Amino acid sequence: MRTEIATLGEFGLIRHLTEGLENRQPSTRYGVGDDAAVIACSEGKQTLITTDLLLEGVHFDLTYVPLKHLGYKSAVVNFSDIYAMNGTPTQITVSLGVSKRFSVEEMEALYAGIRLACEEYGVDIVGGDTTSSMTGLTISITCLGEAAPEQIVYRNGAHDTDLLCVSGDLGAAYMGLQLLEREKLVLKGGDQTIQPDFTGREYLLERQLKPEARRDIIRQLAEEQVKPTAMMDISDGLSSEVLHICTQSKVGCRLYEEHLPIDYQTAAMAEELNMNVTTCALNGGEDYELLFTVPLSAYDKVSQMDGIRVIGHITKPELGCALVTRDGQEFELKAQGWNPL
């Protein structure tokens, strides 16, 4: 069954998609249903705000991205930005640009993913907008979060001798994208009897289609009373993000190839595609892991934490930013990650 969006209209579609929303955050005084949401400022905390714009054909391909997964990912990447500030996401607004080719049922699937992400992370949907689009699907999400002023972590706080750390593993999301693109090309070949073969590559697909924000890492650091000196999430690639921190902190770094965390499936897929796995880990993007620096004195604590790897250290700025290869050679670190412009 297909229901045309025009049968509901803009406000009818919003009501339909947001029906039954329950607010979980005490700071949400009034959510969807009026000209503006009402958010109470938590005493002793500051508000964090981030926004993300996703365009069909630029940021996602609906040939192989299910709408429910797309909705989930659209919300989670915003939560990740708030966690990267050492904060907690609390509310989002969701704005959609929708062309006539989409049905009400397809928008239900998209919104189901957004709602699932919000339920999982305890975030309230408090508003948004819909409009017609001439270029397919556009998703814009703004996320609000909160943090105590003394706990907020910026990109500009790294110091000489700080340790450079990363959560999880790197390059898997990029390998998942390469796998999906490869199967898309096979499908374009015209043989409809050929079915995509993702056996043994499920982890790569999950990292690309359904990433998770590293709330668990933020909690671990808080429990161990380790506050990063600088932090950001990895969306455009490790190299790019390391250089962001070094530039804004006015420092240099040494990043060690042998310490980069890479999953077995990532390495196997890179070999299958004849790609350099280190390059994939450095420049792949969309990992949404946390990259952060901590004082050298915190080494014993962070080295014992699950899911955290020390991958290098911060240096004086005059030493520059370099990758140290497994055989001890140094190469200038360059940002070769994804750039939409």
**Are 96 and 137 found together in one domain?**
yes
**Are 191 and 296 found together in one domain?**
yes
Partners of 60 in the beta sheet?
Answer: 56
CATH of the domain at 207: 3.90.650.10
CATH of the domain at 104: 3.30.1330.10
Over residues 298-325, the mean pLDDT reads: 97
Q: Cβ neighbours of residue 79 under 8 Å, at least 6 residues apart?
A: 89, 117, 121, 123, 143, 213, 215
Residue 103 placed within a domain:
yes
Render pLDDT for 65-104 as a digit per residue (tens, 0 to 9).
999 999 999 999 999 999 999 999 999 999 999 999 999 9
What's the confidence (pLDDT) of residue 161?
A: 98
- Residues 61, 294: Cα–Cα separation, whole Å: 38
What's the confidence (pLDDT) of residue 183?
A: 84
Over residues 181-200, the mean pLDDT reads: 73
C-alpha distance from residue 35 to each of 97, 128, 129, 156, 303 (Å): 19, 10, 11, 37, 49
Exposed e or buried b per residue across 197-222, where buried means at least 16 C-beta atoms within 10 angstroms of its C-beta:
eeeebebbbebbbbbbbbbebbebbe
Burial category of 108 from C-beta neighbours within 10 Å (exposed 0-12, middle 13-18, buried 19 and up): middle
**Residues 286, 174 contacting (CB under 8 angstroms):** yes
**Are 173 and 296 found together in one domain?**
yes
**Are 128 and 185 found together in one domain?**
no
Query: For 152-161, 220-229, 332-341, which range has the lowest pLDDT when averaged over its residues?
Result: 332-341
Cα-flanking dihedrals φ and ψ of residue 44, to 5°?
A: 80, 5
**Are 12 and 89 found together in one domain?**
yes
* Domain C-terminal end among 117, 151, 185: 151
Residue 200 placed within a domain:
yes
For the chain, the domain total comes to 2
pLDDT at 271 over 60: yes
Residue closest to 217 by CA, chosen among 143, 294, 286, 279:
294
* Domain C-terminal end among 108, 127, 151: 151
Q: Cβ neighbours of residue 207 under 8 Å, at least 6 residues apart?
A: 172, 173, 175, 176, 286, 287
Beta strands per DSSP E along 81-229: 88-98, 124-132, 138-147, 163-167
**Are 130 and 191 found together in one domain?**
no
**Are 114 and 179 found together in one domain?**
no
**Are 168 and 306 found together in one domain?**
yes
Q: Which 3 state secondary structure label does DSSP give 114?
A: helix
Residue 66 placed within a domain:
yes
Q: Which domain holds residue 242?
A: 163-332
Encoded tokens for 270: 């890179």
Cα R_g (the chain), whole angstroms: 21
**Residues 337, 269 contacting (CB under 8 angstroms):** no
Encoded tokens for 184: 């898309």
Encoded tokens for 341: 């412009």
Confidence (pTM): 0.92
**Residues 323, 331 contacting (CB under 8 angstroms):** yes
What's the confidence (pLDDT) of residue 341?
A: 43
Residue 298 placed within a domain:
yes
Residue 87 placed within a domain:
yes
**Beta strands at 38-39 and 28-30: parallel, antiparallel or unpaired:** antiparallel
What's the confidence (pLDDT) of residue 340?
A: 45
Residue 341 placed within a domain:
no
What's the confidence (pLDDT) of residue 254?
A: 98
DSSP 198: -
Regarding predicted confidence, which is higher, 184 or 12?
184
Regarding predicted confidence, which is higher, 194 or 209?
209
Mean pLDDT of the chain: 92
* Domain C-terminal end among 116, 151, 186: 151
**Residues 337, 236 contacting (CB under 8 angstroms):** yes
**Are 229 and 119 found together in one domain?**
no
**Are 197 and 305 found together in one domain?**
yes
User: What percentage of the chain exceeds 90 in pLDDT?
Assistant: 79
Residue 158 placed within a domain:
no
**Are 47 and 113 found together in one domain?**
yes
Residue 337 placed within a domain:
no
**Are 111 and 253 found together in one domain?**
no
What's the confidence (pLDDT) of residue 30?
A: 75
Q: Which 3 state secondary structure label does DSSP give 171?
A: coil
Query: For 25-34, 138-147, 201-210, 318-327, which range has the lowest pLDDT when averaged over its residues?
Result: 25-34
